[in-house]
Structure 1
């Protein structure tokens, strides 16, 4: 995928933009502010890590940025699309077609009733692709080979280790050619070797495919794989 560059300034276009985004929970007078007027831009074709202590707002940042939660105020854009202007159905389609996800929990990442290969191509099937189409099957096999799991597609996810399941999740995140991949603590429960493999795949998604990766992590080693590190504290970027 080619990265969009402004022909006048030479600056990469923003894949993700937050403008004065706030997220408050609770009733008026007893509200808790999880995000406090956060503004930032994430260039297309970059790897950004969002770090901060527990309760700093980094998970809420990811949820609002990815369209999993709506901010109380402010604007979130993926590319030129204002997420706040979308209906729930349109927002669901955007998450399916233009966004990839890698969650911390293996249970959230993979559907246990589907084979490994079926898990990889699931976003395409949900978008209307025929799961028996050879092009779909070939793409699933190619992505499994890329993440080091060639020949394992017919097996159940339960046959894989946690690290292998996360690699399947990366393959699934790539299958639609998304504009942005959001990764929520993707290495939190992994040993150092497995974590390195997963982070290497995310790094390759940027380097080889030109994807944009936004990763929330508490791990400074994981954050070291990113091009840019954003630090959150008290719901604000520091």
Structure 2
């Protein structure tokens, strides 16, 4: 039988771990009573794996992603990314961790890309925010290499509005990869895409795991999208089933 020490060691070595994580909200207009979005959720996501989190609307899967990615703080419990306890960090430190060690691909194209920046500038934005010179050869080469990888070579000077939804999502994947993050979180990344475009985006996420050894955690309602993952976690009523 695995010892408690072995279990703790495995959790802290995971790319992402949640230990008894709960998130409660006060309901509006109901006397301030609380609603539980997450209920004592525990799991460990291995390094270099692709995990899909599925469940019906209102099951808690979006709250799971927000707490796991450090976008929202849980009411109780512990979230760790790469062994770092997010609850121990100040807001400034948490912002730096999300910038440097976490990649995001959102469902909304408006959230993914900055319309006033070129496609290439969007890709390298996390590096620039971390203090890198946007005109340096290292930054430019990194951005162009990633655009080539996602099938958009030569489009770097164009604006996001010139791209289709699927192309914008591919740019978002490139940006998520640019800092070589510990974990990439994808929130319904194929929800508004046709099957061909969805397959291209999912293939890029799969390659991030297979080729780069990145860890991907994806929330999706689509069984076909979940089929690209190594493991599927099902949420219902704020709990993992």
Length-normalised TM-score, structure 2:
0.93
Aligned-residue Cα RMSD (Å) equals 1.7
Query: Contact 2:12/2:83 (CA < 8 Å) preserved in 1?
Result: no
Unaligned runs of 5+ in 2: 1-5
Number of aligned residue pairs: give it.
231
Unaligned runs of 5+ in 1: 1-5
Query: CA deviation digits over 1:17-57, x for unaligned, max 9?
Result: 00000000017960010000000000000000000000000
Structure 2 partner of 1:69: 72
Structure 2 partner of 1:3: none
1:116 paired with 2:119, answer: yes
1:86 paired with 2:81, answer: no
CA distance in 2, matches of 1:225, 1:14: 21
Give the alignment of 1:1-238 within 5 angstroms.
Answer: 13-26=13-26, 30-238=33-241
Query: Contact 1:12/1:43 (CA < 8 Å) preserved in 2?
Result: no
CA distance in 2, matches of 1:45, 1:109: 23
Length-normalised TM-score, structure 1:
0.94
Query: Contact 1:104/1:188 (CA < 8 Å) preserved in 2?
Result: yes
Query: Contact 1:12/1:44 (CA < 8 Å) preserved in 2?
Result: no
CA distance in 2, matches of 1:177, 1:207: 14
Q: CA deviation at 1:129?
A: 0.3
CA distance in 2, matches of 1:24, 1:117: 39
